[in-house]
Structure 1
Amino acid sequence: MPRFYCPLPLSAGLQTALPDTAARHVQVLRLQPGDAITLFNGEGGEWAASITRMGRSDVQVQLIDHAPVEREAARAVHLAVGMPANERMDWLVEKATELGAASIQPIAAARSVLKLAGERAARRQAHWQAIAVAACEQCGRNRVPTVHAPLALADWLRQSGMNHGMNGARLLLSLRSTSRPLREAAGDAGAAWVLHGPEGGLTTQEEDAALAAGFAPASLGPRVLRAETASVAALALLGLG
């Protein structure tokens, strides 16, 4: 059944217009009045609904009932990723969402190819958030991970050091000889924050700064993975394993 993100207060019997993005999607799919759809607003569970009107630019629906179904990973895994260039970051956000990432923090590091600031950074953040929404619609998640605004690594480490609510394992993907296997380093923590670098990895100084901020070195194995591959591998090991 088609699923659409509807970030509005939802309740049984409510008749409402779909947001513009969802309405356009309904029209592209050529759905008709009477067709059943599923809505979710990110607050948990999903709603059975029915299309009641198809206008030129608007779609009206009526909500029927709520199903408290959740499809989240057993462990909340938050990614802090050195932004890969070109379309690889789009791919990373899509696949990380499908694999259950709780949030995604784009990071600018010394070796980052992609440099974002100001209005351009805001546009890319909105673009990535839209990719996360579309991935949730496709994969069945009812909670949309937040894609945060890009930050310089030093700024994010400073914020993480002040964030006492950041409980759980803090893991730095690293090829250092002191790195432990990722699952072993995460232990039984109910949440994990996974940091890894962009193309070329983090510099020694950046890794040292992460370790000083409380991150433990962790390994995905002996092979050197691309930045976007490292993210999905970490999520598969921690979120699905």
Structure 2
Amino acid sequence: MRTPRLYTPQPLPLGQTIELEAAAGHYVGKVLRMQEKQEVILFNDTGTQVSAHISNISKKIVRVLISAQLKAPKASLLYTHLGQVMSRGERMDYAIQKATELGINEITPLYSSRCEVKLDHQRQIKRLAHWQQIAISACEQSGRIDVPLIHTPQALSTWLENTSAEVKLVLHPHETRPLEAQKAPLSCALLVGPEGGFTLEEVEQAHAEGYTGLSLGPRILRTETAPIAALTLLQYVWGDLSPRLTEIQDK
């Protein structure tokens, strides 16, 4: 069995024993059915990653002894912020999961004219916690150590006015510029619309705020597929999927 990676928000002091949170303890004890002395990898928000061994395991409590500091994986040179108009069902979950695997740093769920999702205050709180857990699980699986921040859902106009980045892109076939022709930025804001697309007024508003169109070819992609295709392209041209930039980062 591959050594499990688990996120924890608590400090990870070498040589000390800590108690895992309830969800992580349940996963280790009930799902994986791990035993004492077996190894886990833990990471937290400070960029710390350690090796630990289970020192005590019971029905309700799992304690681990932190034994060694591990080298933390490097984040992409390209800082990305995804503005994703919300979609129904599991499509938003899928977009957040895959965007996290592709190195996204921030995600802001958005409301637009053609957005079909309406969340009251209580449902918004629950969905936000659910989405953050999806991002954490994706980091555990993919080897990331920096968990992306999931922002509170907001109106498209608010995001356009307040989001800053060196390059701003909207998935729309008009007024596109080849990525290869642009100087590699350190940060990029990516805007993805709903199933029905953005209205002409919304596209014009994005352009007024400095957004350039980005086309992904002749086929129309679903709203949960589009950010994955776009982020893969961005990471290949400007980020850690680029052979050239990967060599620079490894030096």
Q: Same fold (TM over 0.5)?
A: yes
Aligned mate of 2:189, from 181, 186, 193: 193
1:1-241 correspondence runs (5 A): 1-27=3-29, 28-160=31-163, 166-176=164-174, 178-181=175-178, 183-184=179-180, 187-239=183-235, 240-241=241-242
Superposed displacement of residue 18, structure 1 = 0.5
SS at match of 1:202: coil
In structure 2, the CA distance between the partners of 1:186 and 1:198, relative to structure 1 (3 Å rule), is farther
Q: Deviations over 1:186-240 (max 9, x none)?
A: 6310111100111111111111111111212222222221111110011101123
Q: Which moved more, 1:119-128 or 1:215-224?
A: 215-224
Report the Cα distance in structure 2 between the residues aligned to 1:139 and 1:115, rounded to whole angstroms. 31
Kept after mapping to 2: 8 A contact 1:49/1:63? yes
Kept after mapping to 1: 8 A contact 2:12/2:48? no
Gaps of 5+ in 1: 161-165
SS at match of 2:224: helix
Kept after mapping to 2: 8 A contact 1:44/1:142? yes
Report the Cα distance in structure 2 between the residues aligned to 1:16 and 1:191, rounded to whole angstroms. 37
Superposed displacement of residue 21, structure 1 = 1.2
Letter in 1 for 2:156: L
Report the Cα distance in structure 2 between the residues aligned to 1:15 and 1:44, rounded to whole angstroms. 19
In structure 2, the CA distance between the partners of 1:185 and 1:207, relative to structure 1 (3 Å rule), is farther
Partner of 1:163 in structure 2? none
Kept after mapping to 1: 8 A contact 2:87/2:223? yes
Aligned-pair RMSD on alpha carbons? 1.5
Report the Cα distance in structure 1 between the residues aligned to 2:90 and 2:127, rounded to whole angstroms. 11
Aligned length: 234
Superposed displacement of residue 119, structure 1 = 1.1
SS at match of 1:48: strand
Letter in 2 for 1:210: A
Kept after mapping to 2: 8 A contact 1:113/1:199? no
Letter in 2 for 1:167: A
In structure 2, the CA distance between the partners of 1:106 and 1:78, relative to structure 1 (3 Å rule), is same
SS at match of 2:218: coil
Report the Cα distance in structure 1 between the residues aligned to 2:119 and 2:11, rounded to whole angstroms. 34
Gaps of 5+ in 2: 236-240, 243-251
Report the Cα distance in structure 1 between the residues aligned to 2:214 and 2:94, rounded to whole angstroms. 23
Q: Percent identity?
A: 41
